[in-house]
Chains A and B, each alone.
Chain A
Amino acid sequence: EAGVAQSPRYKIIEKRQSVAFWCNPISGHATLYWYQQILGQGPKLLIQFQNNGVVDDSQLPKDRFSAERLKGVDSTLKIQPAKLEDSAVYLCASTGGGTVFTEQYFGPGTRLTVT
């Protein structure tokens, strides 16, 4: 079974530029999560999708961050314009249906550096 795929693995941009990250969850997984992990900290949830609908985006900085999962499969996370404090690893995770208390499977993450 293929795992969660993310691209790119690394991205360097200048502040005020825009950037997009892509995530393809495990096949059949209905729930998809985006996390932000600042260096030296634990991951922080940004947004949770159930199929193509948003379940929770309360911690997403909506003035600059946006995310979509149009067909209920892969997802993109966009930052526009980027700030220095957005430098972090962006992790995508997915989980299957059934009980809500299921393991989240994580992708390798995208390391973003904003200069």
Chain B
Amino acid sequence: VQLVQSGAEVKKPGESLRISCQGSGYNFANYWITWVRHVPGKGLEWMGKMDPSASYPSYSPSFEGHVTMSADTATSTAYLQWSSLKASDTARYYCARHTDRSSTGWLDPWGQGTLVTVSS
């Protein structure tokens, strides 16, 4: 079971971005994917989770309206996207799989993270 994320990105404020998280070694459609933001020097922040089988996202109030989560079961890939980046979006973003099919359980495995840098 593995989650592999897309590579590092450098963007300007106002630009759009989509990063990916591809699962392998299990039935991707059956387990929710969570997204976590990690700002260097700060703690982990939960952004929301996605049911790949229904393309049904559930967002943290702190991130709702600023990011969009989606998934493609045909390619076993989850996506996190921004339509207009801000400098404050600079962080490393992790995807992780919920071990319980009801969207709870512990988070395992985690992707390797995608570093997003937003700077003018």
A joins B in a complex: no
> Footprint of A on B, CB under 8 Å?
none
